[in-house]
């Protein structure tokens, strides 16, 4: 007897799969697809006003212009269909109240993706990617350190660490010039996109309440 299709439970679609099939996601990661994003943003005025004071405080920092420019690059190159997925599948927070005192942080699901810190009057960035994107045995591979040094303006500007969690690799980059160069490297961009898609596929963003629309304006300006 054939099953009753009307009562057969269906596996719910979560994350980016609501908007992009796996092939579209892979093509975007490889830089082979121009995705069609929403023209309009779904916005909460209450949420926007909630963080205006923090945004104004950020604008008084000496790093403000570099922060906005780098966030603009990140938003346009590292997050798929950012307008359609804003807040609900990724968010950006302004001067979040965490012990490490970041200037801005981008999150998806329960995971930090990208953070910018003050470094004197300059900037320092922290990127999280998959360790497996850089190694085959989940340990530092000979030659990858040289590759990372090639992706910044001077070798001293890059370092790495191993956060808690499975298949996670952290990369620190110091200085706005090195951060920009790092984001322009094709292999790095592919690694960032892969990690971001992984976590955007895990479902709704847990940090929606900390989303700063004023910062997101910059990320979505292109």
Which element (helix H / strand E) includes 154? none
CA-closest candidate to residue 107, choices 79, 84, 81: 79
Summarised one tens digit per residue, pLDDT across range 41-79 is 888 899 999 999 999 999 999 999 999 999 999 999 999
CA pair distance 72, 56, nearest whole angstrom: 17
Q: How confident is the model at residue 206 (pLDDT cuts 50, 70, 90)?
A: very high
Distances (CA, A) of 60 to 65, 93, 116, 122: 10, 17, 16, 14
pLDDT at 195: 97
The three-state DSSP-derived secondary structure of 78-125 is HCCCHHHHECCCEEEEECCCCCCCCCEEEEECCEEEEEEEEECCEEEE
Q: Structure pTM?
A: 0.90
CA-closest candidate to residue 74, choices 24, 126, 121, 114: 114
Summarised one tens digit per residue, pLDDT across range 174-201 is 999 999 999 999 999 999 999 999 999 9
């Amino acid at each position: 007897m054939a099953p009753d299709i009307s009562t057969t439970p269906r596996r719910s679609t979560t994350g980016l799969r609501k908007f992009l099939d796996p092939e579209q996601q892979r093509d975007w990661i490889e830089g082979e697809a121009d995705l069609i994003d929403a023209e309009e943003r779904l916005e909460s005025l209450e949420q926007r006003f909630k963080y205006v004071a923090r945004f104004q405080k950020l604008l008084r920092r000496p790093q403000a212009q570099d922060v906005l420019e780098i966030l603009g690059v990140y938003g346009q190159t590292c997050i798929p269909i950012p307008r359609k997925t804003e807040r609900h599948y990724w968010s950006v927070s302004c001067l979040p109240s965490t012990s490490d005192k970041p200037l801005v942080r981008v999150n998806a699901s329960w995971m930090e993706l990208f953070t910018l810190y003050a470094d004197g009057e300059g900037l320092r960035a922290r990127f999280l990617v998959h360790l497996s994107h850089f190694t085959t045995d989940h340990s530092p591979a000979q030659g990858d350190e040289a590759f990372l040094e090639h992706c910044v303006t001077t070798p001293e500007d890059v370092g790495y660490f191993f956060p808690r969690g499975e298949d996670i690799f952290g990369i620190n980059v110091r200085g706005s010039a090195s951060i920009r160069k790092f984001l322009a490297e094709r292999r790095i961009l592919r690694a960032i996109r892969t990690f971001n898609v992984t976590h955007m596929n895990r479902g709704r963003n847990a940090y929606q309440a900390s989303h700063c629309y004023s910062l997101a304006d910059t990320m979505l300006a292109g």
